[in-house]
Structure 1
Amino acid sequence: MPTTETLEDFYRQKFNQLPPGPQQDPGHFNVFRIEDSVGLGKPPMQYSRREFYKISLVRGHQRYHYADKSIEAEGTTLLFFNPTVPYKMEQAGGPPTGRFCIFKDAFFTEHIRGSLKDLPMFAPGGKPAYMLDSHQDQYINAVFDKMLDEISSGYRFKYDLIRNYIMEIVHYALKMEPAENLYEHTDANARITAVFTELLERQFPIESPAQQFSLRSAKDFARQLNVHVNHLNRAIRNTTGKTTTAHIFERLISEAKALLKHTDWNVSEISYCLGFEEPAHFNHFFKKQTSTTPTAFRS
Structure 2
Amino acid sequence: MNSITIKDFYKDILGESCPDINQFLNDNLHKDVGHFNIFDISEISKTCTSKTGMPYNRRTYYKISLINGKNKVEYADKTIEIEDCVVLFASPKIPYNYTHLCTDQSGHFCVFTIDFLPASKIGLEIDNLPVFSPQSDFVYQISTEQYQKFESVFLKMHDEINSDYAYKYDLLRNYLMELVHFGQKLKPIMPIANNITAASRTTTLFIELLERQFPIENISHLLQLKTPADFAGILGVHVNHLNRVLKDTTGKTTGEIIGSRIFQEAKMLLTQTQWNVSEIAFTLGFEEVAHFSNFFKKYGKQSPQHFREHILV
User: When the two structures are superposed, what TM-score results if normalisation uses the length of structure 2?
Assistant: 0.84
Match of 2:280 among 270, 276, 289: 270
Letter of the 2:12 partner, please give it.
Answer: D
Q: Which moved more, 1:33-42 or 1:196-205?
A: 33-42
Tell me whether 1:19 sits opposite 2:7 in the alignment.
no
Residue deviations 1:56-108, cap 9 Å, x none? 11112222112321222222111111122222222334522111111122212
Does the 8 Å contact 2:63/2:90 carry over to 1? yes
Q: Does 1:55 align with 2:87?
A: no
Answer yes or no: is the 8 Å Cα contact 1:54–1:82 preserved in 2: yes
> Equivalent residue of 1:295, what SS?
helix
* Percentage of matched positions with identical amino acids: 41
Counterpart position of 1:10: 13
Q: Which portions of structure 1, spanning 4 or more consecutive aligned residues, are displaced by more than 4 angstroms?
A: 11-15, 20-26
Residue 99 of structure 2 is matched in structure 1 by 90
Q: Which of 92, 105, 109 in structure 1 is aligned with 2:114? A: 105
Whole-Å separation in 1 of the counterparts to 2:126 and 2:29: 20
The answer on whether the counterparts of 1:22 and 1:28 sit within 8 Å (CA) in structure 2 is no
Consecutive unaligned residues in structure 1, runs of 5 or more = none
- Residue 293 (str. 1) matches residue 296 (str. 2): no
Aligned partners of 2:165, 2:139: CA distance in 1, in Å?
Answer: 32
Q: Does 1:132 align with 2:147?
A: no
Report the CA distance shift for 1:233/1:92 in structure 2 as closer, same or farther (over 3 A): same
**Which structure shows the bigger proportion of residues in helix conformation?**
2
Conserved 8 A contact 2:86-2:140 = yes
1:46 pairs with 30, 37, 53, which one?
53
Q: Is the 8 A contact 1:11 1:19 kept in 2?
A: no
- Indicate the RMSD between aligned Cα atoms, in angstroms: 2.6
C-alpha change, 1:10 and 1:74, in structure 2 (3 Å) is closer
SS at match of 2:186: coil
The answer for unaligned runs of 5 or more in structure 2 is none
Moved more, 29-38 or 232-241: 232-241
The range that moved more, 266-275 or 115-124, is 266-275
1:258 matches 2:268: yes
* Number of residue pairs aligned between Structure 1 and Structure 2: 295
Q: Which of 152-161 and 178-187 deviates more? A: 178-187
The answer to whether the 8 A contact 1:26-1:104 is kept is no
1:1-299 aligned within 5 A: 6-13=9-16, 16-17=21-22, 19-20=25-26, 25=32, 27-38=34-45, 42-49=49-56, 50-109=59-118, 111-174=121-184, 176-185=185-194, 186-299=196-309
Q: Please, what TM-score do these two structures have when normalized by structure 1? A: 0.87
Partner Cα separation in structure 2 for residue 260 and residue 298 of structure 1: 6
Moved more, 251-260 or 106-115: 106-115
